Structure 1
Amino acid sequence: MREEDVVRYLEKTPDFFERNPALLEELTIPHPVHGGAISLLERQVSLLRKSNGDYRGQFERLVDVARENEGIMKKSRRLVLKCLSCETLDDFAGVIEEVMREDFNIAYQSLVLFNDTDFDGSVRTASWESSEPILKEMLVNSGCYCGVLSVAESEFLFQSQSNLVMSSAILPLVSREGGQVVYHGVLALGSNRLNHFDKDKGSLFLDFLSDLLSALLLRLLP
């Protein structure tokens, strides 16, 4: 009988060793590490332990992600509740600056609203006509932008701190009118670490935050 015949027979008869349990103790295979012979039962136990360790590692990683997501949601809730109490654009900008710095540990941030004239208060404004040529590459796709900025983009958004920012997340603040997206501003978040904001990590939470802040901003715009 050829080896292939034995393999095919065992594949067609999965209960063979259940009916012949004594054979399991007599079969030997090489140890996966030391090279010595071990029984099939020992090999199965070794594989089960490895699988169990792999599953435990995956479970622990999932728990860590769940805890991180829970923390993010709690911080987001605080941000929304504080923004709901804002009565002016200055209040709005102040809350964002405080929560991003203290809760999210964001080193650099910049809120720019698009308007042809300054609003009452200290919130930075710029006309859409002057901003769009600089920011269009980031805003060409819907949703948030994550990654490294060009020199012109970084200088426009972060001004004197632009040389300190290695990676950024740009949250558009928009409304949708008649099926068209209208840009009211952007919130730029910066880090001195190159991969802190990375498009490969995804931007689901940032998109969620962008939508929330957009809705809260619209309440305060004149």
Structure 2
Amino acid sequence: MTEEEVVQYLKSTPDFFERNPALLEELRIPHPVHGGAISLLERQVLQLRKSSADYRGEFDRLVAVARENEAIMKKSRRLVLKCLSCESLDDFAGVVEEVMREDFAVNYLSMVLFTEQDLDTSIRTASWEQAEPILKEMLAQSGCYCGVLSVAESEFLFQSQSDSVMSSAIMPLVSREGGQVVYHGVLALGSSRLSHFDKEKGLLFLDFLSDLLSTLLLRLLP
């Protein structure tokens, strides 16, 4: 009988070892780590332990993610509640900077509003005609941007601090009018660490925060 025939026979007779339990203790197979011979039952126990450890590791990972998300939501709630009490654009900018630095450990922050009006605010402003050629590739994406900026983008957003910014998260501040997206500005977050802003993990939260901050900003714009 060939090896293939043995395999086929065992597949077609799944109760074989139930009818021949003593055989399980006589079979010897290599240990997966040190190579010594062990019984099939011992091998099954080792496999079950490995599967259990894998499941436990995945469970621990999911718990850690859930706790991280809960912490982020609490920080976001604090940000929203504080912004709701703002009565001016400067109040709004101050609250955003305070919470981002204290709660989210953001090293560098820049807010730019796109307008040609003279606003009663210390927030930096630029016309859309100035900003669009520099930021168009980034703003052409749907939602927020995470990653490394070009030299021109970084200098426009972070100015004198641009050389220190290694990775960024850019949140557009927008409204939707007649099915069209209108850009009112951007909130740029920067880090001195290259991998600080993870687009695989953080984009959903950033999009959520971008929508909230956009709504809160529109209350204060003339």
The alignment's TM-score, normalised by the length of structure 2, stands at 0.97
Q: Distance in 1 between matches of 2:40 and 2:9?
A: 18
The amino acid across from 2:115 in the alignment is N
Q: Could you say which residue in structure 2 is the equivalent of 1:22?
A: 22
Cα deviation, 1:16-54, whole Å, max 9, x if unaligned, reads 111211111111111112222111001111111111111
Spell out the pairing of 1:185-200 with structure 2 (5 A cutoff): 185-200=185-200
Matched, 1:63 2:63: yes
- Corresponding residue SS for 1:173: strand
Give the aligned partner of residue 73 of structure 1. 73
Query: Which runs of structure 2 are paired with 1:88-103 in the superposition (5 Å)?
Result: 88-103=88-103
Which digits, 9 at most, give the CA deviation of each residue in 1:49-104, with x for residues without a partner?
Answer: 11111111111111111111110010011111111111111111011000000000
In the aligned structure 1, how far is the partner of 2:33 from the partner of 2:123? 65
Moved more, 117-126 or 67-76: 117-126
Partner of residue 120, structure 2: 120
Identify the residue that residue 163 of structure 2 maps to in structure 1. Answer: 163
CA apart distance, 1:202: 4.9
Aligned ranges for residues 166-185 of structure 1 at < 5 Å? 166-185=166-185
Contact 1:118 1:124 in 2 (8 A): no
Structure 1 residues 98-124: Cα deviation after superposition (integer angstroms, max 9, x where no partner): 000000000000011111033102111
Query: For 1:117, what is the secondary structure of its paired residue?
Result: coil
How many residue pairs end up in the alignment? 222
The answer to whether the 8 A contact 1:173-1:214 is kept is: yes
Matched, 1:206 2:209: no
Counterpart residue identity of residue 27, structure 1: L
Gaps of 5+ in 2: none
**Equivalent residue for 1:215?**
215
Counterpart of 2:7?
7
**Quick one: which amino acid aligns to residue 78 of structure 1?**
R
Aligned to 2:33: 33
Offset at residue 214 of structure 1 (A): 0.6
Q: TM-score, normalised by structure 1?
A: 0.97
Q: Distance in 2 between matches of 1:34 and 1:126?
A: 67
Alpha-carbon distance in 2 for matches of 1:67, 1:199: 19
Q: Quote the residue 1:87 is aligned against.
A: 87
Q: Choose 2-11 or 204-213, whichever is displaced more.
A: 2-11
Percent identity among equivalent residues? 82
Deviations 1:142-199 (A, max 9, x none): 1011111111111111111111101111000000111111000000000001111243
CA contact under 8 A between 1:31 and 1:43: conserved in structure 2? yes
Q: Given that residues 146 and 170 in structure 1 are in contact (C-alpha distance below 8 angstroms), is that contact kept between their aligned partners in structure 2? A: yes
Segments of structure 1 that go 5 or more residues without pairing to the other structure are none
Runs (4+) of structure 1 exceeding 6 A deviation are none
